[in-house]
């Protein structure tokens, strides 16, 4: 587009402006990426703790169930031993 002086109006961005934008994005990325990796490590630790807790609870339930079953079986066998000669 021609103006009164015969020059075109500025449209678009210059190379310097684009370079500044790329540099700023790089700086922001350098600040954000370490935070993401720390939160990922924390999430993995929380998952591990939850899994260990679930395994511990399952083992406790199994132990209680097995102990109760063994005690009932022993009582039944004792009762049967008294009844049967």
CB 37 within 8 A of CB 31: no
For residue 4, name the pLDDT band (cuts at 50, 70, 90): low
| Residue 38 belongs to some domain of the structure | no
Which pTM does this prediction carry?
0.47
d(CA 71, CA 68): 5
Q: Is residue 20 part of a domain?
A: no
pLDDT in tens, 41-77: 888 899 999 999 999 988 888 888 887 777 767 676 6
How many Å is the maximal CA-CA distance in the chain? Answer: 124
Q: Say how many domains are in the chain.
A: 1
Range of the domain at 74: 45-85
Per-residue model confidence as pLDDT tens digits over 8-52: 666 778 889 999 999 999 999 998 888 887 788 888 899 999 999
Q: Report the alpha-carbon distance of residue 37 to residue 31 in Å, rounded.
A: 11
4 domain-assigned: no
**Residue 45, token pair as written in the block:** 């630790």
């Amino acid at each position: 587009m021609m103006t009164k002086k015969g020059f075109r109006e500025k449209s678009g961005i210059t190379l310097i402006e684009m370079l500044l934008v790329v540099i700023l994005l790089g700086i922001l990325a350098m600040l954000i990426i370490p935070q993401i990796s720390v939160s990922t490590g924390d999430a993995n630790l929380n998952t591990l703790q939850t899994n260990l807790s679930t395994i511990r609870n399952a083992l406790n339930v199994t132990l209680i169930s097995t102990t109760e079953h063994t005690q009932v079986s022993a009582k039944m066998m004792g009762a049967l031993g008294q009844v049967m000669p």
